[in-house]
Amino acid sequence: MAQSDTVDRILDAAEELFAERGFSETSLRMITSKAKVNLAAVNYHFGSKNALIHAVFARFLTPFSATLEKAFDELEESCGDQPPTLNQTLWALTESAVRMPQRNEKGISIFMRLLGLAYTQSQGHLRKFLEQEYGDPFSRFMRLLKAATPQLSAVDRYWRIQFMLGATAFTMSSSDALRDILQNKTGVETSVQEIAMRLVPFLAAGMQAEDTMLVPPKGSKVSVA
């Protein structure tokens, strides 16, 4: 609560509403009324709705990318001249995400959902903003992946990275809903940490799959182009 800082109250409300409903589906009036501030406050403090969206991402992503860079530094150092393994790389990313200081109990899952939305909901301005602001740690992650999977051809690696991104972004972007469904069906509670721990082995196994299965089973009508 503190001294009722308007800017933070707006960011908190926006973060939550964006995650629940998406960007275009969330109006400034929803945000300001949830934040209990005047409608004009958003344009006064941020300039525009798009700038507010950027600010929501920056508030999480700036400290996160710093944490991630540090984790990669440590990892590479501890490996000496050997490149880190695939598992180590994926875990470094996962831990950096999970261990981020969280504003509230929902914390990380809200942000995962936002990242997923950023990817799927093709808001040009957001894509450009993220690329420009946080392209470096992303490229570094890509370089680590390349070193960790030397057995893959460039084309194979390219596609499998897309598959990984997809599984992650998609799952995280609806993780709340998915968790609720599972909760209702089986009574099992699932934390974001647990999802991540299930996701990593899945991704690692897929990434390292033998492509002997590339040939369809006999009788299949799909032909190799």
Partner DNA sequence: GTCTGTTTTAAACATACGTTTGAAGCCAAT
Partner DNA sequence: ATTGGCTTCAAACGTATGTTTAAAACAGAC
Contacted by 142, from its own copies, DNA, none: CB < 5 to 8 Å by type: none
Minimal distance, residue 123 CB to DNA, in Å: 12
Q: Which range touches its own copies (CB under 8 A), out of 8-16, 37-45, 89-97, 101-109?
A: 89-97
Which of 6, 50, 67, 121 forms a contact with its own copies (CB under 8 A)? 121
Q: Is 153 in the site for DNA (CB under 7 A)?
A: no
Q: Is 70 in the site for its own copies (CB under 8 A)?
A: no
Q: Are 66 and 133 in contact (CB under 8 A)?
A: no
Q: Is 182 in the site for its own copies (CB under 8 A)?
A: yes
Whole-angstrom Cα Rg for the chain: 20
Q: What does the alpha-carbon distance between residue 201 and residue 3 come to, in Å, rounded to a whole number?
A: 45
Q: Is 33 in the site for DNA (CB under 7 A)?
A: no
- The rounded Cα 96 to chain-centroid distance in angstroms is 12
Q: Are 170 and 163 in contact (CB under 8 A)?
A: no
Q: Is 132 in the site for its own copies (CB under 8 A)?
A: no
Q: Is 170 in the site for its own copies (CB under 8 A)?
A: yes
- Residue with smaller CB distance to DNA, 11 or 108: 11
Minimal distance, residue 4 CB to its own copies, in Å: 31
Q: Are 88 and 75 in contact (CB under 8 A)?
A: yes
Which of 82, 151, 184, 186 forms a contact with its own copies (CB under 8 A)? 186
- Give the residue among 34, 10, 21 at the shortest CA–CA distance from 113: 21
CA atoms within 13 Å, Cβ hemisphere of 198: 9
